[in-house]
């Protein structure tokens, strides 16, 4: 049986073009970009081209892009870099953030910061008015993700940031699930900090980036040799930086067309689901969503059982957020949305990507029908 991967929000494969761009930097261009000789200069040039490519995709200056080891590091850097540097800081986050923000904010709290958590409506959307209310006594940072990893719901970050800018409150957005999937323009969004994850857009795991608006004061997370203009020490991972740059260049080339294609795959999927004899609901149905994500609750079923049924049919999906493992505990996102337990416990996240075809989607629906049929 041909394996069907529908877990692109968990991670993506490295595309051949990305791999080919990276390969010479793993072998012949192995130099340390901090070295002034031929080998170092070659590596440095690769890293700087990558910085330009990332900047090109999110519309900022290359000097505002800082490479990190992952989205978790970028998220932690944004929160701790601002939060720890200001004793007694007040940080406002949404209730549906990834654990890289949730857990980091909890740590900040233990360090003496005040953290406010803003809820979402039943569509999984943050209300900008609720963010404004949470900032009534002033705030040092607002962090609201751009696309939720479980539902794909796109948050009103631009509206929040437009208001925050007038108040002088810096805004961070975790765009790990958005960059490369929908247009992300930091100037249009008006954010001060933005997180990028390499492995969600066909670059390897172990590389990310943080956009830091020019002029924003942000304390380093890693101290040492002063790489990344003194803000993120540690010898640069040039091959992975090159890969992330190439992945961003690729996304910039055909984003509207690929988005339309993936939206159509979503339509085919939901049409197929509609023809199955099961009770299900699509989360964030009326919210703007990522084109390649559909989180579906199957009434009265257990997500673990559905996944087990799909695993034997060589289908890869996830229950809730993959980063939490394949547990059927209702996620904090579904809980914040107030999803009834009978649907929440049977929630499966389907996510597709560039290599996915219509044929794959039809075959997914067929095997899903088989797996659900066995549970009835
Ligand atoms: N933020 C979001 C929205 C994510 O979806 C993820 C991963 O799933 C992360 C952050 C963390 O990414 P990483 O595990 O690569 O650090």
Using one digit for the tens of pLDDT, what is the confidence trace for 140-175?
999 999 999 999 999 999 999 999 999 999 999 999
Distance 141 CA to ligand 1 centre (A): 20
What does DSSP say about strands 293-298 and 280-282: parallel, antiparallel, or unpaired? antiparallel
Q: Which residues pair with 208 in a beta bridge?
A: 68, 197
Using a 6 Å cutoff on CB, does residue 244 contact ligand 1? no
- Ligand 1: does its nearest atom lie under 6 Å from the Cβ of 149? yes
315-316 and 4-5: which strand pairing?
A: parallel
Q: Which CATH architecture best describes the domain 16-251? A: 3-Layer(aba) Sandwich (3.40)
- Between CA 322 and CA 349, with CA 283 as vertex, the angle to 5 degrees is 25
**Whole-number Cα distances in Å, 47 to 42, 61, 125, 210, 236:** 9, 15, 37, 15, 8
The first and second tokens of residue 6, run together, are: 């529908």
Q: How many residues does the chain have?
A: 376
Cβ of 351 less than 6 Å from ligand 1: no
Q: How confident is the prediction along the chain (376 residues), in pLDDT tens digits per residue?
A: 899 999 999 999 999 999 999 999 999 999 999 999 999 999 999 999 999 999 999 999 999 999 999 999 999 999 999 999 888 999 999 999 999 999 999 999 999 999 999 999 999 999 999 999 999 999 999 999 999 999 999 999 999 999 999 999 999 999 999 999 999 999 999 999 999 999 999 999 999 999 999 999 999 999 999 999 999 999 999 999 999 999 999 999 999 999 999 999 999 999 999 999 999 999 999 999 999 999 999 999 999 999 999 999 999 999 964 434 545 589 999 999 999 999 999 999 999 999 999 999 999 999 999 999 999 8
Ligand 1 atom nearest 73 alpha carbon: 16
Q: Which fold has domain 4-12+254-373?
A: 3.90.1150
Q: In whole angstroms, give the CA distance from residue 100 to residue 200.
A: 15
How many other C-beta atoms can be found within 10 angstroms of the C-beta atom of residue 61? 12
**What are the structure tokens assigned to 39, written together?**
């080998």
pLDDT in tens, 313-342: 999 999 964 434 545 589 999 999 999 999
Q: Rounded to an integer, what distance in angstroms lies between the CA atom of residue 28 and that of residue 30?
A: 6
Contact by Cβ (8 Å): 323, 98 = yes
Among this protein's residues, is 135 annotated catalytic?
no
Alpha-carbon distance of 297 to 311, in angstroms, equals 18
Q: Would you state the pLDDT for residue 376? A: 81
Is the beta carbon of 197 within 6 A of some atom in ligand 1?
yes
- Using alpha carbons only, give the angle 100, 229, 55 rounded to the nearest 5 degrees: 65
Selection from 302, 290, 370 nearest residue 341 by Cα? 302
This model's pTM is above 0.95: yes
Domain boundaries, the chain: 4-12+254-373, 16-251
Atom of ligand 1 nearest to the CA of 74: 16
CA distance linking residue 320 with residue 339, whole number of Å:
13
Tokens of 125: 């959307």
């Amino acid at each position: 049986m041909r394996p069907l991967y529908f877990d692109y929000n968990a991670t993506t494969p490295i595309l051949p073009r990305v791999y080919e761009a990276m390969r010479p930097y793993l072998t012949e261009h192995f130099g340390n970009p901090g070295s002034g000789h031929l080998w170092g200069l070659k590596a440095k040039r690769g890293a700087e081209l990558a910085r330009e490519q990332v900047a090109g995709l999110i519309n900022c200056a290359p000097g505002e892009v800082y490479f990190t080891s992952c989205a978790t590091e970028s998220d932690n850097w944004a929160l701790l870099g601002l939060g720890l540097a200001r004793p007694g800081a007040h940080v406002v986050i949404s209730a549906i953030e990834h654990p890289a923000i949730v857990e980091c904010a909890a740590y900040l709290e233990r360090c003496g910061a005040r953290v406010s958590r803003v809820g979402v409506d039943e569509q999984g959307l943050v209300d900008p008015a609720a963010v404004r209310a949470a900032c009534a006594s002033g705030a040092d940072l607002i962090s609201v993700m751009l696309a939720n990893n479980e539902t794909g719901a796109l948050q009103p970050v631009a509206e929040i940031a437009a208001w925050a800018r007038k108040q002088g409150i810096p805004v961070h957005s975790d765009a790990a699930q958005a960059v490369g999937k929908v247009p992300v323009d930091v100037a249009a969004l008006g954010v001060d900090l933005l997180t990028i994850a390499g492995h969600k857009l066909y670059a390897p795991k172990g590389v990310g980036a943080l956009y830091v608006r020019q002029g924003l004061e942000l304390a380093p997370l890693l101290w040492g040799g002063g790489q990344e203009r003194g803000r993120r020490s540690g010898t640069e991972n040039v091959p992975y930086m090159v890969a992330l740059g190439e992945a961003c260049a690729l996304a910039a080339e055909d984003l509207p067309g690929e988005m339309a294609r993936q939206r159509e795959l979503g339509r085919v999927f939901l049409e197929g689901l509609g023809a199955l004899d099961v009770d299900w609901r699509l989360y964030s149905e009326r919210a703007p969503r990522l084109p390649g994500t559909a989180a579906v609750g199957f009434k009265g079923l257990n997500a673990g059982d559905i996944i087990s049924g799909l695993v034997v049919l060589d289908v890869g999906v996830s229950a809730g957020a993959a980063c939490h493992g394949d547990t059927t505990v209702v996620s904090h996102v579904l809980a914040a949305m107030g999803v009834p337990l009978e649907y929440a416990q049977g929630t499966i996240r389907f996510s597709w990507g560039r290599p996915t075809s219509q044929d794959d989607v039809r075959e997914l629906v067929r095997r899903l029908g088989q797996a659900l049929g066995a549970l009835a």
